[in-house]
A and B are shown apart, each in its own frame.
Chain A
Amino acid sequence: NAGVTQTPKFQVLKTGQSMTLQCAQDMNHEYMSWYRQDPGMGLRLIHYSVGAGITDQGEVPNGYNVSRSTTEDFPLRLLSAAPSQTSVYFCASKNRPDPDRDNEQFFGPGTRLTVL
């Protein structure tokens, strides 16, 4: 298994440009999430999905769109990049939670985005 993969690893954008961060997992996980990591703030949830065709907003959704057409893929779209979106973005996935088990999430290696 490749686990959770993300592309690209690095990206530089100009203000106003749009782009899509790719995320894929091969573990047949139902749940997928996008987080952003900023210095001194830990990771904050942007959007998440509980299954194909279902998405919902997290803590900081503004300026981002997501879709979940397949179980494997969960792309994150920046509609019009702003310098405030300079960050490291992590995708994560996990199984449907079981009350008798923990909720471990599996993270991708991250995408470092700079918006000039």
Chain B
Amino acid sequence: GDSVTQMEGPVTLSEEAFLTINCTYTATGYPSLFWYVQYPGEGLQLLLKATKADDKGSNKGFEATYRKETTSFHLEKGSVQVSDSAVYFCALSKGAQKLVFGQGTRLTINP
């Protein structure tokens, strides 16, 4: 079945560091790919998305490119802030109701 694998956390960085959170997927067909973010005590919010190969999603300084050849959708940010501390989830969907989530990566940014 379809699945999403994220790099294991937790990830701890200093402010202004470069961030990469790896995400790879297994799916038949052409899924849409998402990154969701969960801030402490809150529900999930969509961070960015890409619906076809080579699309780049971006929001709040975060970027991810849909790479079909490597089945990847890695999340990057050039300079992280303390306010980026959260849990990040990679997910896929194939036009149906269901989102398939990765296990989540907890990110902590120290000042």
What 1/0 flags go to A45-56 for Cβ under 8 Å of B? 100101000000
Within 8 A of B (CB), among A15-31: 31
Asked if A60 is at the interface of the complex by the 8 Å CB criterion, the answer is: no
Cβ–Cβ contact B34 & A104, under 8 A: yes
A41, A99, A108, A109: the one within 8 Å of B103 (CB): A41
- CB nearest to B49 among chain A residues: A102
Asked if A79 is at the interface of the complex by the 8 Å CB criterion, the answer is: no
Q: Which residues of B contact A103 (CB under 8 A)?
A: 32, 93, 95-96, 99
Cβ–Cβ contact A104 & B96, under 8 A: no
Q: Which residues of B contact A41 (CB under 8 A)?
A: 103
A50, A102, A107: the one within 8 Å of B43 (CB): A107
Q: How far is the CA of A2 from the CA of B36 in the complex (A)?
A: 20
Asked if A105 is at the interface of the complex by the 8 Å CB criterion, the answer is: yes
Within 8 A of A (CB), among B2-39: 4, 32, 34, 36
Cβ–Cβ contact A58 & B98, under 8 A: yes
Within 8 A of A (CB), among B42-76: 42-46, 49, 51
Q: How far is the CA of A104 from the CA of B96 in the complex (A)?
A: 11
Q: Which residues of B contact A92 (CB under 8 A)?
A: 44, 99
Q: Which residues of A contact B99 (CB under 8 A)?
A: 43, 45, 92, 103, 105
Q: How far is the CA of A100 from the CA of B98 in the complex (A)?
A: 17
